[in-house]
């Protein structure tokens, strides 16, 4: 029975978190059962599990995909034999599965389109499967192809270039105003989750120093320790305005904490050097009137949200280009899959030719013991070259027929013409042959060492 690629899964689009939790809790249990099937019944040849907070997917290579899918669905049921709600599951086979995996790795199927973390999670899942030895020729090839496709999508499109979170958008704005953030000083007013995310982005983009002011000193010190920042008393934030370049405020204050007059007074002391305010608090922390002052820039949460929405639309436009790349790479992988059918025939042709060459070479060399090693090596290389050139056209012929529905006819034809042994699918340690055929090392020196008359 032919091997088929299968993905059965559940994700944030198809199921709420409580359903995804149930599926995630069965990952190891189902993995053990699939391993049993692989070793005892040979139904599942290869498998890998991807489990993240947004998705759980079983990627398998199976000779009986219907049975494999049925088994996973049954194993997802609970101990009281209640069936897992099937409406939350999705199933992809063959090229649809390949295309889906490419899209997931490229961030096109993520909750935040273009996010890069999913690629690292797939690499971790593959690493774990490789350590457990549950992946083979097809999944090895598919996963390495997946990594290269994701890299190509990221480098040839802008799918991950624009900020789609408020905190990151704030940092991107600061970079536009100052050119870059190298050497800039940042004051964070408030130490909540948004401030923490912004701190990460600021430091990653080259800010030289963070100052944190928070009403709760413990939280300010905790955040300062993480980012090697300094802290100041909340009552002294106006003093910091003289030296910092960016002020990001995100407190829970019910009223304004920074007035127009405060900022106006401080601008004189800093000799009107540009000062950038980011107010992501609701209610707002900063008087909108500061935006009227020269060299003072203020953006509030609505401004940033507008940027985020615009960036999301830009990512959607880039997604069209990404989908084209994925379609192209899916077709390339399809061609590779089809060549697997002709690999055993190519291997058999080469093996038979090599056996004939070696046997004839030994008989000939037995009568030429007077030749030097250099002369013997020249003869060996000549025979290798003859065999390679003689097989070139038949191999190209059968590889070109690999993508045709009638390929089995041509495989049988070549096997009869060359009187080859019948195909044995289990004889596949060299299944990567179509890609590597030009990299095959010459056996010339090993043959020379075994020639008659060689000391």
Most confident of 39-43, 169-173, 194-198, 387-391: 387-391
Which stretch of 111-120, 252-261, 294-303 has the lowest confidence by average pLDDT? 111-120
Catalytically annotated residues? 53
pLDDT of residue 343: 82
pLDDT-based confidence at 128, cuts 50/70/90? very high
Q: What is the per-residue pLDDT for 79?
A: 60
Is residue 19 very low, low, confident or very high in pLDDT (cuts 50, 70, 90)?
A: confident
What proportion of the chain, given as a percentage, has pLDDT over 90? 44
**Higher per-residue confidence, 426 vs 103:** 103
pLDDT value, residue 28 = 85
pLDDT in tens, 339-364: 887 888 888 899 999 999 999 999 99
Residue 59 has what pLDDT? 96
Nearest to 124 by CA among 67, 68, 50, 196: 50
Q: pLDDT category, 388, cuts 50, 70, 90?
A: very high
The number of beta carbons lying within 10 Å of the beta carbon of residue 429 is 9
451, pLDDT greater than 60: no
pLDDT for 36 equals: 81
d(CA 242, CA 271): 9
pLDDT score of 422: 59
- The mean-pLDDT minimum among 82-86, 194-198, 410-414 falls in 82-86
Judge whether residue 450 has pLDDT over 60. Answer: no
- Percentage, residues of the chain above pLDDT 70: 90
Render pLDDT for 47-85 as a digit per residue (tens, 0 to 9): 999 998 889 999 999 988 898 898 888 888 866 666 788
Mean pLDDT score of the chain: 85
Of 16, 17, 19, the closest CA to residue 83 belongs to: 19
pLDDT (0 to 100) of residue 37: 76
* pLDDT band, residue 240 (cuts 50/70/90): very high
Per-residue confidence (pLDDT) for residue 431, from 0 to 100:
43
- Per-residue pLDDT band at 410 (split at 50, 70, 90): confident
Q: How far apart are the C-alpha atoms of 364 and 448, rounded to whole Å? A: 13
Give the tokens for residue 14.
């198809």
pLDDT digits (tens, 9 = 90+) for 270-320: 888 989 999 988 889 999 999 999 999 999 988 888 888 888 888 889 999
pLDDT at residue 424 greater than cutoff 70: no
SS (H, E, C) the chain: CCCEEEEEEEECCCCCHHHHHHHHHCHHHHHHHHHHHHHHCCCEEEEEEEECCCEEEEEEEECCHHHHHHHHHHHCCCCCCCCCCHHHCEEEECHHHHHHHHHHHCCCCCCCCCCCHHHHHHHHHHHHHHHCCCCCHHHHHHHHHHHHHHHHHHHHCCCCCCCCCHHHHHHHHHHHHHCCCCCCEEEEECCCHHHHHHHHHHHHCCCCEEEEECCCHHHHHHHHHHHCCEECCHHHHHHHCCCCCEEEECCCCCCCCECHHHHHHHHHHCCCCCEEEEECCCCCCECHHHHHCCCEEEEEHHHHHHHHHHHHHHHHHHHHHHHHHHHHHHHHHHHHHHHCCCHHHHHHHHHHHHHHHHHHHHHHHHCCCCCCHHHHHHHHHHHHHHHHHHHHHHHHHHHHHHHCCCHHHHHHHHHHHCCCCCCCCCCCCCCCHHHHHHHCCCCHHHHHHCCCCCC
Structure token pair of residue 184: 């800039």
- pLDDT of 246 over the 90 cut: yes
Residue 452 is predicted with a pLDDT of 42
Q: How confident is the model at residue 120 (pLDDT cuts 50, 70, 90)?
A: very high
Q: Could you give the maximum distance between any two Cα atoms of the chain, in Å? A: 106
In this prediction, residue 71 carries a pLDDT of 87
Please say if the pLDDT value at position 413 is more than 90: no
Predicted TM-score (pTM) of this structure: 0.67
pLDDT higher than 60, residue 164: yes
């Amino acid at each position: 029975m032919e091997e088929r690629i299968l993905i059965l899964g559940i994700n944030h689009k198809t199921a709420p978190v409580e359903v995804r939790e149930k599926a995630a809790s069965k990952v190891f249990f189902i993995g053990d059962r699939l391993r049993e099937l692989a070793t005892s019944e040979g139904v599942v040849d290869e498998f890998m599990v991807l489990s993240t907070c947004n998705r759980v997917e079983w990627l398998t290579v199976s000779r009986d995909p219907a049975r494999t899918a049925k088994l996973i669905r049954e194993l997802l049921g609970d101990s009281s034999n209640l069936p897992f709600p099937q409406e939350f599951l999705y199933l992809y086979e063959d090229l649809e599965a390949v295309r889906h995996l490419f899209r997931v790795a490229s961030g096109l199927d993520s909750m935040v389109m273009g996010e890069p973390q999913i690629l690292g999670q797939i690499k971790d899942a593959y690493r774990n499967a490789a350590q457990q030895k549950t992946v083979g020729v097809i999944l090895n090839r598919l996963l390495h192809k997946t990594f290269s496709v994701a890299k190509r999508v990221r480098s040839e499109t802008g799918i991950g270039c624009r900020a789609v979170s408020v905190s990151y958008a704030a940092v991107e704005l600061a970079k536009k105003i100052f050119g870059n953030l190298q050497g800039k000083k940042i004051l964070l007013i408030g130490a909540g989750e948004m401030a923490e995310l912004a701190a990460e982005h600021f430091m990653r983009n080259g800010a030289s120093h963070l100052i944190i002011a928070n009403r709760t000193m413990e939280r300010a010190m905790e955040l300062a320790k993480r980012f090697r920042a300094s802290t100041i008393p909340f009552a002294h934030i106006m003093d910091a305005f003289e030296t910092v370049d960016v002020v990001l405020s995100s407190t829970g204050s019910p009223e304004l904490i920074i007035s127009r007059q405060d900022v106006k007074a401080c601008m004189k002391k800093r000799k009107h050097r540009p000062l950038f305010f980011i107010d992501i608090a609701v209610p707002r922390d900063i008087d909108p009137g500061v935006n009227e002052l020269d060299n003072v820039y203020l953006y509030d949460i609505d401004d940033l949200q507008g940027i985020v929405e615009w960036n999301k639309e830009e990512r959607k436009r880039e997604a069209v280009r990404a989908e084209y790349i994925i379609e192209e790479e899916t077709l390339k992988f399809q061609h590779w899959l089809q060549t697997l059918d002709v690999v055993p025939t190519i291997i058999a042709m080469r093996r038979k030719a090599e056996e004939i060459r070696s046997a004839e070479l030994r008989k000939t060399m037995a009568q030429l013991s007077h030749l030097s090693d250099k002369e013997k090596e020249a003869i060996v290389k000549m025979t290798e070259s003859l065999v390679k050139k003689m097989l070139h056209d038949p191999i190209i012929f059968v590889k070109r027929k690999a993508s045709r529905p009638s390929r089995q006819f041509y495989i049988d034809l070549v096997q009869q013409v060359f009187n080859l042994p019948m195909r044995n699918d289990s004889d596949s340690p060299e299944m990567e042959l179509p890609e590597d055929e030009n990299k095959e090392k010459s056996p010339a020196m090993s043959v020379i060492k075994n020639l008659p008359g060689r000391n």
